[in-house]
Amino acid sequence: MALLDMHEWYDLTRDTNWTPGYVAEDELFPPEFSDPFGIPVEQWETFDEPYKVSYRDYVETQRDKDIGAYSVKSALARADFFKKASPHWKALLALHFSPIGFAEFHSASAFARMTRFSRAPGMRNMATFGTLDEMRHGQIQMYFAYEFIKQDRVFDWAHKSSKTENWIIISLRHALDDIEHTRDAISAAIMTNFAFEQGFTNLQFIGLSADAAKAGDHTFATMLQSIQTDEARHAQIGTPLISIMIENGRKAEAQQLVDIGFWRIWKQFSALSGISMDYYTPLEFREHSLKEFMHEWVVDQFARNIKALGLDLPWYWDYFLHDVETFHHSQQIGVYVYRATEWWRPIACVSPAERDWLEEKYPGWNDTYGKCWDVVIDNIRNGHFEKTVPEVPPLICNMCGLEVTGVAGVGRQVNGHRWNATDFHLDHEGRRYHFCSEPCKWVFELEPARYQGHRSIIDRVLDGTVPPGPDGFYEYMGQSFEERGVCGYDYQWIDGYDMPRAAAAE
Ligand code: MN
Ligand code: MN
């Protein structure tokens, strides 16, 4: 029997729906999973996916993508790229694989929920492919990280991280649980597909891939591109959903979902992509700064998409633009000085040449973040390594789980120094919650019951959840002695300052 061409059958099958006979509609599609907005099924059936693909074509394309990525990997495996790679690039790979691998794998579950509970047949098709995509991404990220375990045990964290209570993992898990895994299929799709994937995956998968290709890591660059072609397809699930919501009088709800999802994922990418692009990528291989990539891929493109759909820019847009230039610089200081709490080996990446680049890309960097680094540098030069590691725990945001930071050298005067860090706190049902920013606090206030039970890593230290003693904290976070970060560059990054460094004691 001859096979029909796709155009001869696709439109007939893509919107096939059925009326349940054995159970009530609400039992098959419980509103709390399928549609808390009460939009009629005829409206959901207008869902029209912009990218149409059949299962037969999907499998063929995916097989070719896998062949491409895995053959680049095996052809280059013998090149010993990793052994020769700089400590910067090793830190970047370890930072990428540990949180991203499990995030991809778990995304399969979010798409499976859309597949099961969406009332739009076309969306169920697309989400089925999305589920398979994310399984492939989880597998390829794990497999590509696995290659490095024999060189460096930190790559064990590609698999291990999601099972730990490490503070960075808690932070990411909180964001992903919120937007991907604990809401109805429609809300999760708007937040995941539109705000997260259409908003941000270009940044990590195309922007970073450009850096990787320049750095000669063609295996990593090919893997990132292979993943991004899937993301670009399944991210499109979000767009028709927002249109249906707006047409059915639910614009305010759609807007709020976008505003929450976009903010929550921005904080994660700011730290992840910001540190990767502006610090860990070796200077000679940097394609663009985070700010430049953000303006190209997110500020311009995403803002255009939002407006084209009939939504408004998130209310915090001006603050977001400020955050694009500031937040990751502060986080990089925190990541370096609290390095023992991370499983990889962080690098400061603020040698004199790197500072020149930072000052050029972020005018004023030397007068703000640079002043903080000067203190670290002086301590290293004088052999006071213990002074480069704070004893006091940081204030952690009860929403994003990252450090409450500010910009040194600006803002109000405290003890002769200017500092604009602000604890946006809130007292709620007998507890004080701390937030790094107005938007993080705003998300909490929208639905306190959803968030109030979560305890940050510092809350857990104070309430006795974390065992006492010097090792209790690290053991709680899943970090044996060998899994506690030390300076990945053995302090050589301060070579080039006008005094030689003291011998490293770490
Ligand atoms: Mn993915
Ligand atoms: Mn995805």
**What is the greatest pairwise CA distance in the chain?**
84
Ligand 1 centre to CA of 436 (Å) is 28
Token look-up 């709680």 returns 476
| Per-residue confidence (pLDDT) for residue 500, from 0 to 100 | 47
Ligand 1 centre to CA of 158 (Å) is 15
Ligand number nearest to the C-alpha of 205: 1
Show the tokens assigned to 427: 């007292």
Ligand 2 centre to CA of 234 (Å) is 7
3-class secondary-structure state, position 342: coil
| Per-residue confidence (pLDDT) for residue 498, from 0 to 100 | 66
Question: Residues 91, 345: contact at Cβ < 8 Å?
Answer: yes
Ligand 1 centre to CA of 107 (Å) is 7
Instruction: Determine how many CB atoms are found less than 10 A away from the CB of residue 81.
Output: 18
Ligand 2 centre to CA of 391 (Å) is 39
Ligand 1 centre to CA of 351 (Å) is 35
Question: Buried b vs exposed e over 65-76: b needs ≥16 C-beta within 10 Å?
Answer: beeebbebbeeb
DSSP letter string over 454-484?
---HHHHHHTT-S--STTHHHHHTT--GGGS
Ligand 1 centre to CA of 102 (Å) is 10
Ligand 2 centre to CA of 127 (Å) is 10
Ligand number nearest to the C-alpha of 232: 2
Ligand 1 centre to CA of 33 (Å) is 22
Ligand 2 centre to CA of 197 (Å) is 6
Q: Say which residues have a Cβ less than 8 Å from residue 20's Cβ, sequence separation at least 6.
A: 27, 28
Ligand 2 centre to CA of 344 (Å) is 25
Question: Residues 301, 271: contact at Cβ < 8 Å?
Answer: no
The candidate with the shortest Cα–Cα distance to 103, out of 52, 38, 155, 171, is 171
The candidate with the shortest Cα–Cα distance to 399, out of 338, 445, 345, is 445
d(CA 207, CA 347): 21
Q: Say which residues have a Cβ less than 8 Å from residue 174's Cβ, sequence separation at least 6.
A: 399, 400, 401, 454
Show the tokens assigned to 56: 């037969």
Ligand number nearest to the C-alpha of 265: 2
CA 248 to chain centroid: 32
> ∠ CA 220-226-232 to the nearest 5 degrees?
130
The candidate with the shortest Cα–Cα distance to 172, out of 209, 204, 126, is 204
Ligand 2 centre to CA of 107 (Å) is 7
Q: Say which residues have a Cβ less than 8 Å from residue 217's Cβ, sequence separation at least 6.
A: 81, 85, 89, 93
Question: Residues 456, 393: contact at Cβ < 8 Å?
Answer: no
The candidate with the shortest Cα–Cα distance to 310, out of 233, 384, 239, 222, is 239
Ligand 2 centre to CA of 496 (Å) is 43
Ligand 2 centre to CA of 464 (Å) is 37
For 158-295, where are the E strands, in sequence order?
none
Ligand number nearest to the C-alpha of 100: 1
Question: Residues 158, 101: contact at Cβ < 8 Å?
Answer: yes
| Residue type (1 letter), 501 | R
Ligand 1 centre to CA of 70 (Å) is 17
| Per-residue confidence (pLDDT) for residue 414, from 0 to 100 | 63
pLDDT tens by residue, the chain, 506 residues? 678 888 888 888 888 888 899 999 999 999 999 999 999 999 999 999 888 888 989 999 999 999 999 998 888 876 688 888 999 999 999 999 999 999 999 999 999 999 999 999 999 999 999 999 999 999 999 999 998 998 899 999 999 999 999 999 999 999 999 999 999 999 999 999 999 999 998 888 888 899 899 999 999 999 999 999 999 999 999 999 999 999 999 999 999 999 999 999 999 999 999 999 999 999 999 989 999 999 998 999 999 999 999 999 999 999 999 999 999 999 999 999 999 999 999 999 999 999 999 999 999 999 999 999 999 999 999 999 889 888 888 899 999 999 998 887 766 666 666 667 788 999 999 999 999 999 999 999 999 999 999 999 999 999 999 998 778 999 999 999 999 999 999 998 888 776 545 554 44
Instruction: Determine how many CB atoms are found less than 10 A away from the CB of residue 407.
Output: 21
d(CA 416, CA 434): 25
Ligand 1 centre to CA of 236 (Å) is 13
Residue 185 CA: distances (Å) to CA of 33, 35, 113, 193:
6, 7, 6, 11
The candidate with the shortest Cα–Cα distance to 455, out of 472, 481, 476, 439, is 476
Ligand number nearest to the C-alpha of 204: 1
DSSP, res 356: H
Ligand 1 centre to CA of 108 (Å) is 8
